[in-house]
């Protein structure tokens, strides 16, 4: 009897891996699944990556309250989502695990559109600093 191939769990974070994020590094080691990392930046200095990882080039501008911030985010969102969707289609993960709520909020539309299950871990600062506008769609899906 042959063993079925391991399913890919895609771990997504804004930056891989900050020196303090040993708790995420432990999750990137899998025996029951094939872990893969996806981020927009590599921490320097940072922890060694225990699995393969990809780094996206398009990034949403930071959130802000002014009109300029909202316009920039609206202009950049299609580029950001197109790159993310292309990567998700190519990797075809069984599950996406977003580390930190703000990362989950950024990727929820792509996961939802491709019907990929999304799990989000809130680790501290993000748990109390978001609003219904920030996390509403995320809480509806993940």
SS3 119: strand
Give pLDDT tens digits along the chain (142 positions).
677 788 999 999 989 999 999 999 998 987 789 999 999 889 999 999 999 999 998 766 555 566 666 666 666 667 778 889 999 999 999 999 999 998 998 899 999 999 999 999 998 877 777 666 778 888 899 7
| Dihedral sign of CA atoms 71, 121, 41, 5 in order | negative
Q: For the whole prediction, is pTM greater than 0.75?
A: yes
CA distance 56 to 43: 14
CA neighbours closer than 13 Å in the CB half-sphere of residue 42: 9
């Amino acid at each position: 009897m042959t063993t079925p191939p391991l399913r890919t769990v895609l771990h997504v974070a804004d930056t891989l891996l900050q020196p303090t994020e040993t708790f995420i590094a432990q999750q990137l080691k899998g025996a029951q699944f094939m872990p893969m990392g996806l981020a927009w930046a590599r921490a320097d200095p940072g922890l060694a990556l225990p699995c393969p990882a990809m780094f996206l080039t398009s990034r949403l501008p930071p959130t802000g309250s002014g009109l300029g911030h909202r316009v920039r985010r609206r202009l950049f969102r299609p580029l950001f989502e197109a790159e993310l969707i292309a990567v998700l289609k190519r990797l075809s993960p069984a599950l996406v695990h977003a580390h930190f709520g703000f990362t989950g909020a950024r990727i929820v539309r792509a996961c939802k559109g491709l019907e990929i299950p999304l799990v989000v871990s809130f680790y501290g600062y993000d748990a109390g600093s978001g609003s219904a506008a920030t996390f509403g769609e995320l809480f509806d899906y993940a």
